[in-house]
Each structure stands twice: as structure tokens, then as C-alpha cells.
Amino acid sequence: MAPAKFKKPPQAPPLFTHTPESLMKNTDRLLSKNKGLIDRIVADVKPESAEFKDVLLPMAQDDNEMSLESHIIGFYQAVSTDAKLRNASTETEKKMDEYSIEASMREDIFGLVDAVFRKQKDDSKLDAESRRLLEKDHKSYVRMGLGIPAGEKRDRFKAIKKRLSELSITFQKNLNEESGGIWFTPEELDGVPEDVTSGLKKGEGENAGKMYLTFKYPDLFPTQKYCKVQATRKKVFLGNENKCNANVELFKEAIVLRDEAARLLGYPDHATFRIEDKMAKTPATVDDFLGDLKKRLAPGGDKEIAKLKELKKAETGEADQYFLWDHRFYDTLMLERDFQLDQNKIAEYFPLQSSIEGMLKIFEELFGLHFVKIDGEDRAAISESGKGDDIVWHQDVQVFSVWDDEAEGSGFVGYLYLDLHPRDGKYGHAANFNLQPGFINENGTRRYPATALVCNFSKPTPKKPSLLKHDEVVTLFHELGHGIHDLVSRTIYSRFHGTSTVRDFVEAPSQMLENWCWTPSQIAGLSKHWSYLSDDYAAAYKASANTDRLPAEAMPDDLIKSIISTRHINDALFNLRQLHFGMFDMSVHEPKSHAAIEDLDASALYNRLRKEISHIDGPEALGEDYNWGNGQATFGHLIGGYDAGYYGYLSSQVYSTDMFYSVFKKDPMDGKEGRRYRHMVLEKGGSQDEMQTLEAFLGRKPSTKPFLEELGVA
């Protein structure tokens, strides 16, 4: 039971009672209010007397208000079970994007912003966050083409921006709604765990006796890891690489248009445009970083392949080639054979629900937080409609109110939502979505954030809870880390709230937290054998294991050791895979000329680079050309905002490893350092220069050494 004072948050949670019609209506209302505001500012304020408080402040405040509704309007497309609502969400998001492009290209308001910028960019009477807002807003108008003289070129730029926004939304929609799969006989699925096959759709008629394996993670990963039939793994691998071919053209169109837009703005390419305001500043810095890493990792990757080939040879008698569809299988087998890493055994100690509780406890101790689950009557009590169901978008969703602990002042922090299991039409990966950002209201009070974790872990059954593999534990902790970043952030403007930092920093806090999942004391603390969750589960365990004794409740030391000892096994190949994504991303965004990007065969480049970087064989090793698959069409990142930014996953590891090694490694549960981190890093969001945040926390400039040491390539 939560203490009574934690029962009633000072701010009601958002309601999820929208209909397709209300989404449309609300969107129109928000947009016309915003337009009215800008029209009024333009009519009332003259450039000579324009000041921050009359131009940027009211616009920022309207942004704050608008974001309370707009994020949720766009959120339904990722989570609603109602296709009409998903479509309306997609449509209204398109409309909002179009409007915001329109608004950010208004010459009249830019004239005023420009005047304020000239007058007040160094005005010490403005607080630092407001000065940053002024600088960033001004720059974003310039980047939206207002530096291009009005006329044909500017109109073309505007049309490109609109089209790019449509492309991004359609691309993601195609991915979310992808529902392909392949029929297999039980023999073809030999080795795939029973808890996966038992959940597959059974065939009738011509497919009688077969099972339908989809490309969703809970089907895909276990098949790639455990299916003993190479032909099946190959089919599934190729099927997955070709599951969303409708996106091939959209991807191509996007990279061509991005290049054209960058050139219209006077940049040599899209990467230069994207990276100038990031921590890396220039594509050359990124290319050098990735190139150096590739050189350092390549020998390790080859060694790993040689060992994996030996294993394949021992298993099958032949191993001239080591294929992409072999990799997860032999990687898993090696970990089990050579390192006694039994993923399924380990998963028995990570039931989803108790793991989440354990993770929240870590955040409580480290950051001085308090999570209160809101169930049943309590939901109705805080719901503005009086109905408990209205505060969630689906009955499976869990809600928490989050508070500061006593030492932190017992104040309200925000709402956390967990939406954990797959559903038709639901976003297919694991990610954190901001539902409502925090900011300072016009009257000076604080608006508190609401943030959601959307994941796809298998559903519990009466006989067995949902169990997490160790890598899923890491993913969950990582995504929760984004959620915590989103919750504890305290900025003046919603624009800088939480994870609204530069792309090449945003992953660092979550990546740093992943280290907790590789620390013995933390693994032990998180673990709880599933048979201890309830009497029914205890009975089910005894029946299934044919024993009358339960195993130890916490994970035994030898299992923990096996996890730790395997952290870097085949790690060069893992990082080379990340490099492949990063280098492909850079390649398509820094072509030598516009003609080069128009002529580019992105699929062939994607597959060729993969071969060149990882040295793992694909169908090309069997005599096919490089057009055997379209992985870029399934790669939401490069369309959804990580364009010329995927390298950030690797480069922010430099920062995260540095922070972990120098501050938390000796004691990950050091509450004093945890609170210092919370207030100096997480709380700042994007409200100050990220390098400044990092250097202030470290007390020095960041170093790449810990990262290279951790990879064993220093």
C-alpha cells in the first residue's frame, strides 16, 4: 500500500477517450489557435520594438500547451487496436506536420524572430534556457529554408519538406501494420522452443498441419536462435528482409529529396546539414570515428567468425561459408556450449513483472524516486471523467504515479505507463514515447510529464508468467532509462524536455544504465525464480519439472557468472553490425553528387556494405547479386529521425562508458552519485548544451578510452 499522501497527484493523468472524429476536431482547434496567435503577434509587434517576451515567449507557451495534446494524438497510431483510430492518428499527425512546416516557413514571423535574435541573443537579462530557445528557434527558421530567397527555389524546398513528412509517416505505418509470415511444418521448426510454437496460428485446408510464423520479434528471434533447420532460418531471414518492400521506393525517394533539400540550403549534403548542430558537428568527425572503429574491430570479427565456423563444421560437417542466417543460431549455441549460458534457464529468473518491480526499485534508490502503481478504484479516483478505464488506451496497460522521496521533497514527478505485450497493429519494437512533456506553466507552476514504455514481450499464461531473456532485461532497463529521463527532467520549455536532446547524446543515459544489468549484485537483486510468484506457478513449475522442490529463489552464482563471462563473446560482430547500420546511414546521406544519389541502388549498397563490414556471407556468396533483400525498407530509424544520426548509438557509448567507469562502476547503487546524475544530467534535458552537461558531470572533457577498453580494442 502506498502512503496516503501519494494517492492523489496534483495533476490528473491524460484521458484516452479519443475517437477518429475528436482527433480531427482537436487537431484543427490546436492548429487554428496557433495560427491565430502567430497572426496576432505579426499584426501587433513591430521589428524595431520586438522582444523575446512578445514574440518567442507566447509562441513557446502555445507550444507547451499544444504538446499536451499533440503527442497523444500521434501516439494512437502506435498502440490503438482500432484501425480507424490508428488511421486518424496517422492522418492528423500528417496534418500537424504539414502545418508546422508551413508555420516554420512564415517569412513574417521570421522577420520578428530575426529582429529579437539580433537584439537579445546575448542579453543577460534573459535566462540561459530562453537564450538557447531563441538561438535554436532562429536557427530552425533558417534551416527551414528562410535563408533561401522567396520564389521558385523556396517553394520547391517547402514541397520537399511536406513530402518528406508524408514519407516518414507512411513508411512507419507500413512497418507497424506489416503482418507477413511463413507457413512451416513442425519438422521445419525443429528446435524452436515449445512456448513459441504453441502460440502460432495453426493451418487449415492446404496449410493443415502447418504453423504460421510471423516476423514479429517473439516469433522471429527464437526461430533465428534455436531452429535447427538451416533452410528454415534462411527462409525466415530472407522473408524478414523482404517483409516491407512497399517501403523500398519510399526510402529511395526520401534520401533523394533530403539531398536536394540540403543542397537548396547551401549544404554539400544531408549529413552535413544534420550533424552541424550535434555533438559531432561535422560528418568528417563521424566518418573518422566509424572508420577507426571498423579498423579496430575487423580482426576481432574475423576471429569470431573463424570460431563460429568451427562450431558449424562440428555440427554439420561443412562450413565453407558462414551465413547471416547462421549467425544468431551458432552464436546462441556457442554461448550455451562453451560458456554454459542457458538463456532459457536464465529467463526463469526474470519474470517480466518482478523484473520491472526490481528495476523500479533500483531507480527509487538511485534517484530518490517513488513509484505507486494505480489500479482499480484508484484509477477512477484520479480520472477526470470518473472512469478508471479512461486513463489508459488498453486494458493491459499499467499506470504508475511517480514521486520524489522524502529527502527529495516528496513532490509529484509525473506518470509512467507500461504497455508490454504485442497486439495487432501495435508498434513492433520496444520504445519510450513521451505522452505529455513537462514545462513551466504561464502562471509559474510546474506541469508534470507523462511517459510510456511500449514493448512486445510475450504474454503470460496461467501456467507460466512472461519470462525475459537477459538481453530483453537489458532492453527493458534501457527503455525504462529513457522513461526516467523523460520523467525527472525539469525544464522551462517543453521543447527541451527530457529526451529532447541532440541525437548523439540521447542514448547515453540509457546506455549507461545497461551496465547495471551486467553487474553481479544487480542481476542477483533483479532475479526471482518464476515459481515464487504465486502458489499456482509453484505448482505448475513442480508439475513441469517433475519435482516436488523449488529451485533457489534468487539466481545462483554460476548462472550470474555465465552471463557476465559472455558479455563480450562475439561482441566485435555485434558492433560491426551497428557499424553497418551507421555507415550505410552515412553513405546514403553524403553522396558525392545529387546524380550519385539518384542513381543509387540502396538495397545493393545495404547488402554489400554489410558483407564488407561484417564479412558474414549472404546470398551473394551463393552466386546471387546484392539485390536479395531490402533491409533498409524495414529500418525505421533512418526514416523516423535517426537519419545521419545512427552513429549516435556508437558515439554516445563513448560518453556512457566514460560516465559509468568514472562514476558508477565501483558502486552502481551509490545514491549520492545517483542523485548528482539525476540533477546534473537527466534533469537538464536539452535545456543546455549537452557537452556542457557532460563535462560538468564528469568534471573534465569526455574520453574515448573506457569505451575502447570495454570493447577490448584500446
Residues contributing to the site for Zn ion (CB under 5 A): 507, 510
Backbone dihedral region of 434: left (phi > 0), alpha (psi from -120 to 50 degrees) or beta? beta
Residue closer to Zn ion by CB (options 142, 431) is 431
Residue closer to Zn ion by CB (options 210, 503) is 503
Tell me how far, at minimum, the Cβ of 430 lies from Zn ion, in Å. 9
Give 438's DSSP letter: -
Query: What residues pair up with 157 in beta bridges, in sequence order?
Result: none
- Using CA of residue 551, residue 566, residue 336, residue 536, what is the dihedral sign? positive
Annotated active-site residue in 479, 514, 590, 690: 479
Please choose, from the candidates 435, 434, 441, the residue with its C-alpha nearest in 3D space to the C-alpha of residue 491.
441
Tell me how far, at minimum, the Cβ of 129 lies from Zn ion, in Å. 24
The x, y and z cell numbers of residue 38, run together, are: 502567430
Residue closer to Zn ion by CB (options 242, 501) is 501
Q: Give me the residue label for grid cell 556457442.
A: 334
Residue closer to Zn ion by CB (options 188, 507) is 507
Q: Are 651 and 455 in contact (CB under 8 A)?
A: no
- What distance in Å separates the CA atoms of residue 263 and residue 279, rounded to the nearest whole number? 22
Residue closer to Zn ion by CB (options 211, 418) is 418
The x, y and z cell numbers of residue 403, run together, are: 514521486
Phi, psi for residue 370 in degrees, rounded to 5:
-145, 125
CA quadruple 602, 604, 608, 609: dihedral, nearest 10: 0
Tell me how far, at minimum, the Cβ of 481 lies from Zn ion, in Å. 8
Radius of gyration of the chain from its Cα atoms, rounded to whole angstroms? 26
- What distance in Å separates the CA atoms of residue 454 and residue 417, rounded to the nearest whole number? 8
Relative to beta strand 201-202, strand 369-374 is: unpaired
194 is catalytic: no
Q: Are 705 and 519 in contact (CB under 8 A)?
A: no
3-class DSSP state of 366: helix
Residue closer to Zn ion by CB (options 41, 694) is 694
Q: Give me the residue label for grid cell 558449424.
A: 312
The x, y and z cell numbers of residue 368, run together, are: 530518490
Tell me how far, at minimum, the Cβ of 449 lies from Zn ion, in Å. 17
The x, y and z cell numbers of residue 638, run together, are: 533512418
Tell me how far, at minimum, the Cβ of 482 lies from Zn ion, in Å. 6
CA 207 to centroid of chain Cα atoms: 37
Query: What residues pair up with 182 in beta bridges, in sequence order?
Result: 213
- Using CA of residue 712, residue 643, residue 594, residue 142, what is the dihedral sign? negative
Residue closer to Zn ion by CB (options 69, 507) is 507
Residue closer to Zn ion by CB (options 419, 507) is 507
Q: Are 251 and 632 in contact (CB under 8 A)?
A: yes
Helix axes 217-226, 230-241, angle to 10 degrees: 140
The x, y and z cell numbers of residue 357, run together, are: 518491480
| DSSP secondary structure letters along 210-234 | -EEEESSHHHHHHHHHH---HHHHH
Residue closer to Zn ion by CB (options 38, 435) is 435
Backbone dihedral region of 644: left (phi > 0), alpha (psi from -120 to 50 degrees) or beta? left
- What distance in Å separates the CA atoms of residue 293 and residue 700, rounded to the nearest whole number? 24
Q: Are 640 and 172 in contact (CB under 8 A)?
A: yes
- What distance in Å separates the CA atoms of residue 152 and residue 324, rounded to the nearest whole number? 48
Residue closer to Zn ion by CB (options 630, 653) is 653
- What distance in Å separates the CA atoms of residue 233 and residue 360, rounded to the nearest whole number? 37
What are the b/e assignments for 114-152, b being 16+ CB within 10 Å?
Answer: bbbbebbeeeeebeebbbbbbeebbeebebbbbebeeee
Residue closer to Zn ion by CB (options 116, 453) is 453
Query: What residues pair up with 400 in beta bridges, in sequence order?
Result: 373, 416
CA quadruple 363, 364, 370, 371: dihedral, nearest 10: 40
- What distance in Å separates the CA atoms of residue 491 and residue 500, rounded to the nearest whole number? 11
Q: Which residues are catalytic?
A: 479
